[in-house]
Chain A
Amino acid sequence: MGRVFPALAVAVMIGPVLAGLWGAALPAFGHLPSAGFQGPSLIGLQRLIEWRGVVEASVLSVTTGVSATLGSLCIVVLIVSGWSGTMVFTWLQRVLSPLLSVPHAAAAFGLAFLVAPSGWLLRPAALFLGWERPPDMLVVGDPLGLTMTAGLIAKEVPFLLLMTLAALPQADSQKSNLIVQSLGYGRVTGWLKSVFPRVYAQIRLPVYVVLAYSMSVVDVAMILGPTTPPTLSVQIVEWMGSPNLSNRLTAGAGAIWQLVLVLAALLVWRAVERLCACLGRKWAGEGQRDVGDAPARAMGFGFLIFTSGAVLLGLAVVGLWSIAGFWRFPAMVPDTLTLGIWARHSDDLAATVADTFVVAGIAVAIAMILTVGCLETEYRRRRPMTPAAVWLLYAPLLVPQTAFLPGLQTLLLSFGADTGRAPVVFAHLVFVLPYVFLSLGDPWRAWDTRYATTAAAMGASSTRVLVFVRFPMLVRPLLTAIAIGLAVSVGQYLPTLLIGGGRVATLTTEAVALASGGDRRAIGVFAVAQTLAALFPFALALAVPALVFANRRGMHV
């Protein structure tokens, strides 16, 4: 059974992506028999070009995506270079790691509830100036997508930071820091010149993932992004949802165009990377010790506190809205508190939570079986994963969701297989599996295999070693991988919406569906439930091993 697991894993990750791209290419070139179109023709592309917003929407996709990626990368670099190894840094890590699992939609709602004209941040000013009504400004949904970019940055910083932290030991960060500082370099300058090149080589793929994701995100764009026109990806989803089936031709063309945009952006990014590397090498050799280190450190710290503070404060305000009774405009807190909103939505909520966890649970179970299967196969065959295989893992995360999910839906529809939860589970698996694998891979491989040799030398079979030695010793990373998988699944919007065809309602789809209505109390309930659903597994992943192994010091971190 040697190669069954790797083959299956690749199939469930890459299969839907390729099928979806094929399913988008057909209508893009005018082939959609179910709507009476026989291709190939250029109708789809023609309609896309004729759409008035096409240029603006494409530009938005690029500007928001690139600035979100650049912004979060800069903040992470400033923070890590200026603060790694300090007490502040350890503290930041603790505060930021739960933010990683906060779903994008919930964080976006939080930000919206803060910065909207009637939002929480403007209220002190309104109180002070005696405004009775919110000012007439377009903050949420500004035409340049600035608020949306800010929302993306706030969510991508924890992700990139975590990836960078994982890369630091392999880059010999601590020793290099010590050496360059003893040569008289400032923290930031020294780190940028000595450690950053090695770290960047390791976080390159995660950075690409952030770029591809930010350029094509749908839920955050629906909550915080512009509307006339919306970003390209939001428009694609609108076309997909249109009752007029011929709009699917335009959607298919849009999907292919979105893919082209992302691939082009990735190529340009790669080219700029090389340019920076070239200039950076020159710069590193020039010997300047301190290029504005103190302000750089302060800036990094400030930005980080600002973005993550916004998410935390935003979530608090969202929570407050979910229990708010009467709440006049400039007041900072509601006049009364009530659980009535939760009670009113409780039936809805129960059904939605059940759906959310059925989908997440099955997807994560499959992902764990495949991941452990692959890693154990790798160990037993004593053949490490090749760099090509690592790229395969990232591939589904590098293809924009809006490029292949619409096509996947169209294909499933034409097979009549678009019903129920099973297709949704497999759509989630495309995203859950890479994250589960990336999370479990390192600790799995770092495990001292002499334990396995010792056990086998006592006559224990490979299965017994796996189940009674390796699993219990790796219980923490295993549970963390499960929690990450669940959080990823809980946060998925587009796969549930498109592949579920409206019949599978998760906390995320329900919350985002409420976005346009503007009922802050209902949004509050679903956004809080969504956040808890993503965070709760992490709490369990921490608590369970601590309780079970309370009397085993060797099992503590």
Chain B
Amino acid sequence: MSEGLVLSNVTIKLAGTEIVAVNRRIGPGEVLTVMGPSGSGKSTLLSYLVGTLPRAFEGAGGIELNGRKLNGLPTNRRRIGILFQDDLLFPHLSVAGNLGFGVPPGPRKDRRQTIEAALDEVGLTGFGPRDPATLSGGQKARVALMRTLLARPEALLLDEPFSRLDADRRTRTRDLVFSITRARALPVLLVTHDAEDAAAAGGEPFLLGG
């Protein structure tokens, strides 16, 4: 049994042409950076990993997470968290409501404590009742991160999650994300076209297209 996220000979074809071919293992706490120009199939790779590949594409190859085979499983049973470019906080729920969406069912008191601890961890103590629309970009990004982590994923996919933030917030948010994923020993697949992101993630970036 191998720890981490294993992509064995993953290929994605569009109209018969191969656009993605990856064969990698991402160990616990490691970050694999996938780089490439827009349209090179970076996001398509992520959609294959979470199980939402559009019908126009043809995906093949094994996905294993901590020894579990994920192929054919619906998104909600893969235990892979995903963060997009946009925070995608649910606009109809409060900050606490958003975080609560991620927390697995359990006694109400425990859940509330979990949510409060998560807010404390990212410096948003007391933000629970707030309307997510009133938060700054960096705050939203942190809530989105914690929401995903509260669902206790075994791996994390990042789809250019820092590109909407200004330079200063970007560095801080990125450092926060990587320190948390390392602390939790999560395998991370980061998709970006920003060299700084790749440098911060460490390791050799994987280049797609071009």
Contacts and interface: CB of A to CB of B under 8 A. Distances in A.
Contacts of A344: none
B102 interface: yes
Contacts of B84: 450, 454
B45 to A, nearest CB: 14
Contact of A458 (B52, B102, B133, B157): B102
A473 B52 contact: no
B138 to A, nearest CB: 17
A549 interface: yes
A451 B88 contact: yes
B102 to A, nearest CB: 5
A469 B78 contact: no
Enumerate the 4 nearest inter-chain pairs by beta-carbon distance, A residue then B residue, closest first. Answer: A554-B91, A458-B151, A553-B133, A456-B75
B75 A553 contact: no
B82 A554 contact: no
A555 B74 CA distance: 29
B131 A553 contact: yes
B181 to A, nearest CB: 15
Contacts of B55: 382-383
Contact of B76 (A461, A549, A555): A461
B91 A455 contact: no
Contacts of B54: 382
Given A453-B50, A458-B81, A462-B76, A472 B101 contact: no
A388 interface: no
B72 interface: no
Contacts of B142: none
Interface of A: 382-383, 448-451, 453-462, 468-469, 472-473, 475, 549, 551-555
Interface in B44-88: 47, 50, 52, 54-55, 74-84, 86, 88
Contact of A551 (B81, B104, B131): B131
A402 B93 CA distance: 49
B134 interface: yes
A554 B102 contact: no
- Interface size band for B: 35 or more
A472 B84 CA distance: 21
Contacts of B147: 458
A297 to B, nearest CB: 39
A554 B140 CA distance: 13
B178 interface: no
B91 A552 contact: yes
A457 B55 CA distance: 19
B92 A552 contact: yes
A53 to B, nearest CB: 56
B140 to A, nearest CB: 10
B148 interface: yes
Contacts of A551: 131
A468 B93 CA distance: 10
B176 to A, nearest CB: 19
Contacts of A448: 86, 88
B90 interface: yes
Given A457-B76, A459-B79, 8 more contacts: A453-B75, A458-B76, A473-B91, A552-B131, A553-B91, A554-B132, A555-B91, A555-B92
B153 interface: yes
A457 B50 contact: yes
Nearest to B151: A458
Given A453-B82, A472-B92, A459 B151 contact: yes
A456 B76 contact: yes
A462 to B, nearest CB: 7
